[in-house]
Amino acid sequence: MASKKKTNILILGSGGREHVLGWKLKQSPSCGKLYFAPGNGGTAQLGENLKIDPEKVDTKTVDEIDYFCRHNDVSMVIIGPEDPLAKGMADRLAKEGRTIFGPNMAAARLEGDKAWAKQMMRAASIPTAEAKVVDNYDAAVAYIESREGGMVVKAAGLAKGKGVYVCDNKEEALAAIEDIMGKKIFGDAGVQVVIEEKLQGQELSVLALVDGRNIYVLEPAQDHKQAYEGDKGPNTGGMGAYTPTPLATDKLLSQVQRDVLVPTVDILKRDGIDFKGVLYAGLMLTPAGPKVLEFNVRFGDPEVQAMMMRLKGDLLEILKATAEGRLDQVSIDWDKRCCCCVVMASGGYPGEYQKGKVIKGIKDAEAMDDVVVFHAGTKAVDGEILTAGGRVLNVCAMGKDLKEAQAKANAACEKIHFEGAQYRKDIGYRVMK
Ligand code: AMP
Ligand code: GLY
């Protein structure tokens, strides 16, 4: 039998998400060469890192990527982060014979424009926080003055995960408006602001693969957004995640599929927008049922690290099938055990932090059974791994239950050292006795 041609793949992005996707793709029998742009210290061990910054979706960058793919027989491009998706990278790289994983620009607006996403949710009667969209400073102040209690103020555009202010009172909400619309610290991303009611409950990340028609709900995970143990401190990109979670019962997932995912895909379709890729609903499980906090149009980081540790099946085939509209033809299975992913961050993150600290002990951690360390903000220099970002490593461990997975992930973190390292030892605490 003639052997099947292997697929060379380019992954855009530089975080733990891109490292874990590469790690899982590499396990596929049809995976050829792996390239990352720009990648990190971990991805350099799986394939080749290219000196291309995909956040810039200008003609030069797009041409550079296109040229690289044509000359290196790369027939699949996976777009990891939101910025290039929102700026239309998927549309611009699309080409006959090339598989692009990641939604087009029209669909990516669901993440890139929170005001528009809110409008879509309203139009489709999708449960979400009550909200007002404002487009000038005075209107924002007047609205806040008319409200009582907690509020959440969000820059409508993309702000590197920093544009959301969870406020306990009017004063904090007014200070948020001052940042976003007064000082314009997020630039154009803050031209419109969404002011929401503050919801209470546990958060759940429900990610689904959508191929334009079929929806496959991946194993849900719980992220931990606050920097410090006990959910204290400032919001971050995510300090740890675990899966499965007892919060996601079959009943809840059917409800989310029926009330959130299906109507979202349908309303986009009504507007002529085909969604292909990952649809990520960030939910608050309120006493009145699950409500959408936000939509993302990509894999969650660090949720996907924990999910991929449990995925059984050929990720390459799964992603291809999603992009090609035949998700109903692939089989997806899950390891029943639990995975806990702990993010080791630079001291000071999400505020100011230093880079260039030498990291030791990754090999010792990985020598433990069922432990894998994914790189996020790292780079390899002269045979050493140095810190190069806020979130540095994602230490993932499997266990028969959450307690065992958490203990093992924490023990693995203890073997890893870099100056100023900070991490939460309580990932999963909200569902543990
Ligand atoms: P987002 O990027 O919109 O998901 O917001 C980031 C984080 O802010 C969420 O994960 C929640 O922890 C918090 N958040 C966002 N919207 C609300 C809301 N309406 N009520 C309470 N917390 C919220
Ligand atoms: N972990 C949250 C996110 O990826 O947006």
Ligand 2 binding pocket includes 300 (Cβ within 6 Å): yes
Start-end of H helices in 15-95: 16-26, 59-71, 82-86, 89-93
Residue located via tokens 């979400």: 128
Residue from 133, 153, 166 to probe ligand 1 pocket by mutation (most atoms less than 8 Å from CB): 166
Distance CA 31, CA 8 (A): 6
Average pLDDT estimate for 31-51: 98
Query: Could you count the other beta carbons within 10 Å of the beta carbon of residue 72?
Result: 15
* First-to-last C-alpha distance (Å) of the chain: 55
Residue located via tokens 């028609």: 213
CATH superfamily of 130-197: ATP-grasp fold, A domain (3.30.1490.20)
Average pLDDT estimate for 239-261: 97
Ligand 2 binding pocket includes 223 (Cβ within 6 Å): yes
Atom of ligand 2 nearest to the CA of 300: 4
Give 369's DSSP letter.
T
pLDDT band at 161 (very low <50, low <70, confident <90, very high): confident
Residue 301 Cα, ligand 2 centroid: separation in angstroms? 5
Query: Is it the case that residue 26 has pLDDT exceeding 80?
Result: yes
Under 8 Å CB-to-CB from 58, ≥6 apart: which residues? none
Q: Give which of 371, 358, 373, 360 is closest to 415, Cα–Cα.
A: 360
> For residue 3, what pLDDT is reported?
65
Residue located via tokens 């997975």: 405
Average pLDDT estimate for 226-239: 94
Distance CA 350, CA 227 (A): 7
CB of 258 closer than 8 Å to CB of 289: no
Residue 302 Cα, ligand 2 centroid: separation in angstroms? 7
Ligand 1 binding pocket includes 311 (Cβ within 6 Å): no
> For residue 4, what pLDDT is reported?
78
Complete DSSP assignment for 325-342: T-GGG---EE-SSEEEEE
Ligand 1 binding pocket includes 198 (Cβ within 6 Å): yes
pLDDT tens by residue, 61-76:
999 999 999 999 999 9
Residues of the chain with CATH 3.40.50.20: 9-104
Query: Which residues on neighbouring strands pair with residue 82, listed in sequence order?
Result: none
pLDDT tens by residue, 383-413:
999 999 999 999 999 999 999 999 999 999 9
Residue 166 Cα, ligand 1 centroid: separation in angstroms? 7
How big, in percent rounded to 5, are the helix, strand and coil portions of the chain? 35, 30, 35
Residues of the chain with CATH 3.30.1490.20: 130-197
pLDDT tens by residue, 97-133:
999 999 999 999 999 999 999 999 999 999 999 999 9
Distance CA 397, CA 408 (A): 6
3-state secondary structure of 51: coil
Distance CA 428, CA 223 (A): 9
Distance CA 254, CA 248 (A): 10
CB of 107 closer than 8 Å to CB of 297: yes
Average pLDDT, whole number, for the chain? 96
Atom of ligand 2 nearest to the CA of 298: 4
Query: Which residues on neighbouring strands pair with residue 74, listed in sequence order?
Result: 8
Q: Give which of 317, 314, 275, 304 is closest to 99, Cα–Cα.
A: 317
pLDDT band at 1 (very low <50, low <70, confident <90, very high): low
Query: Which residues on neighbouring strands pair with residue 402, listed in sequence order?
Result: none
Is the CATH number of domain 9-104 1.10.730.10? Answer: no
Give 313's DSSP letter.
S
Letter for the amino acid at 9? I
pLDDT band at 176 (very low <50, low <70, confident <90, very high): very high
Give 301's DSSP letter.
T
The pTM of this model reads 0.97
What is the dihedral sign for C-alpha 313, 91, 108, 224?
A: positive
Under 8 Å CB-to-CB from 429, ≥6 apart: which residues? 229, 230
pLDDT band at 162 (very low <50, low <70, confident <90, very high): confident
Q: Are strands 48-49 and 31-38 parallel, antiparallel or unpaired?
A: parallel
Ligand 2 binding pocket includes 104 (Cβ within 6 Å): no
Average pLDDT estimate for 182-204: 96
Ligand 1 binding pocket includes 74 (Cβ within 6 Å): no
pLDDT band at 433 (very low <50, low <70, confident <90, very high): confident
How far is residue 356 from each of residues 55, 359, 378, 419, 420, measured CA to CA in Å?
22, 9, 9, 10, 11
Q: Which ligand is nearest to the Cα of residue 195, counting in written order? A: 1
Query: Is it the case that residue 2 has pLDDT exceeding 70?
Result: no
Under 8 Å CB-to-CB from 339, ≥6 apart: which residues? 242, 243, 306, 307, 309, 310, 396, 397, 398, 399, 405
